[in-house]
């Protein structure tokens, strides 16, 4: 079986970066989110650029109003895509691109090649603490009869432990609830390893380690990506996944 999510003719799976979009203020790049200060018409232009480049229908695009919780919605062709107030979407319908938008949070793409089901998840700190990725997998099991051992998963570029400083009380909460290994202490400062926390949640769900890809780039260090921590006012880049016809 082809374990690479990105090299599979049956699906489209990509992570974008800042580049390839139209060039103008405020972000001079491929921002795909409407809620962060760009003009809506410009964001739409950027989404159209992506749709053309990736060969999907823009009117089919499922985007979320992400609220840092752990709600997962099932998308069917009839779903009204304007009211998706959630942080994870899954489907087994063809030609519906699922999009997650981030600037430091982890964009996660899921693909079950056996039942032909996909998902896109927004895993920031809160979502991760609420175990959103486990909830997404449980929902793929109940909705599509997915077996976790079949699911391929990719964690895209996000803030890494080099930059993800948190305060002491949050560090203590993390240690108390999840364990010491997720916090690094350097010069009396606390850094969270969000990727490791998600990885362990995946392994706990019996996802196979060889089916998990984790991007090692840090969105805060690497200026090819938008970073809320680095820039505060910033755009969003995307993870997109779709079952091809
Ligand atoms: Zn970094």
Q: What is the whole-number distance in angstroms between the Cα of residue 50 and the centre of ligand 1?
A: 27
* pLDDT of amino acid 1: 60
Q: What is the whole-number distance in angstroms between the Cα of residue 221 and the centre of ligand 1?
A: 4
Q: Residue 98 pLDDT more than 60?
A: yes
> Is residue 206 exposed (0-12), middle (13-18) or buried (19+ Cβ within 10 Å)?
exposed
* pLDDT of amino acid 230: 96
* pLDDT of amino acid 2: 65
The pLDDT tens digits of the residues spanning 114-145 come to: 999 999 999 999 999 999 999 999 999 999 99
The pLDDT tens digits of the residues spanning 194-245 come to: 999 999 999 999 999 999 999 999 999 999 999 999 998 999 999 999 999 8
Q: Give the percent of the chain with pLDDT over 70.
A: 96
Q: Residue 24 pLDDT more than 90?
A: no
Q: What is the whole-number distance in angstroms between the Cα of residue 113 and the centre of ligand 1?
A: 33
Q: What is the whole-number distance in angstroms between the Cα of residue 150 and the centre of ligand 1?
A: 32
Q: Which of 36, 20, 102 is nearest to 28 (CA)?
A: 20
Q: What is the whole-number distance in angstroms between the Cα of residue 100 and the centre of ligand 1?
A: 21
Q: Which of 95, 92, 130, 89 is nearest to 107 (CA)?
A: 89
- Over residues 64-93, the mean pLDDT reads 93
Question: pLDDT grade, residue 26 (50/70/90)?
Answer: low
* pLDDT of amino acid 83: 76
Q: What is the whole-number distance in angstroms between the Cα of residue 214 and the centre of ligand 1?
A: 15
Separation of first and last alpha carbons in the chain: 20
Q: What is the whole-number distance in angstroms between the Cα of residue 158 and the centre of ligand 1?
A: 9
Q: What is the whole-number distance in angstroms between the Cα of residue 184 and the centre of ligand 1?
A: 13
Task: Report d(CA 178, CA 199) in Å as an integer.
Answer: 13
Domains observed in the chain: 11-158+212-243 (3.60.140.10)
Our measurement of the distance from residue 177's CA atom to the centroid of its chain's CA atoms, rounded to an integer in Å, reads: 23
Picking from 23-27, 51-55, 158-162, which range would have the lowest pLDDT averaged per residue?
23-27
Q: What is the whole-number distance in angstroms between the Cα of residue 152 and the centre of ligand 1?
A: 26
**Angstrom distances, CA of residue 179 to CA of 16, 82, 137, 243:** 32, 38, 23, 37
Q: State the Cα angle at 99 between 98 and 101, rounded to 5°.
A: 160
The predicted model scores a pTM of 0.96
Q: What is the whole-number distance in angstroms between the Cα of residue 51 and the centre of ligand 1?
A: 30
Phi first, then psi: what are they for 133, rounded to 5°? -65, -35
């Amino acid at each position: 079986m082809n374990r690479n999510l990105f090299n599979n003719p049956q699906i489209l799976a990509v992570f974008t970066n800042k580049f390839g979009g139209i060039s103008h203020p405020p972000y001079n790049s491929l921002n795909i989110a409407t809620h962060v200060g760009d003009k809506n018409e410009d964001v739409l232009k950027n989404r159209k650029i992506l749709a053309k480049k990736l060969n999907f229908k823009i009117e089919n695009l499922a985007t979320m109003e992400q609220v840092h919780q752990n709600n997962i919605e099932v998308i069917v062709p009839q779903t009204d895509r304007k009211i998706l107030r959630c942080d994870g979407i899954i489907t087994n319908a063809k030609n519906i691109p699922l999009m997650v938008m981030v600037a430091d949070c982890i964009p996660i793409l899921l693909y079950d090649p056996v039942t032909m089901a996909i998902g896109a998840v927004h895993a920031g700190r809160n979502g991760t603490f609420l175990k959103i990725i486990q909830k997404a997998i449980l929902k793929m099991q109940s909705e599509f009869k997915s077996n976790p051992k079949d699911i391929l998963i990719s964690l895209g570029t996000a803030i890494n432990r080099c930059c993800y400083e948190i305060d002491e009380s949050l560090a203590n909460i993390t240690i108390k609830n999840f364990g010491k290994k997720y916090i690094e202490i350097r010069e009396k400062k606390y850094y969270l390893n969000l990727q490791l926390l998600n990885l362990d949640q995946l392994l706990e769900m019996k996802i196979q380690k060889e089916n998990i890809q984790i991007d090692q780039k840090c969105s805060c260090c690497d200026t090819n990506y938008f970073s809320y921590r680095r820039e505060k006012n910033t755009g969003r880049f995307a993870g997109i996944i779709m079952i091809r016809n």
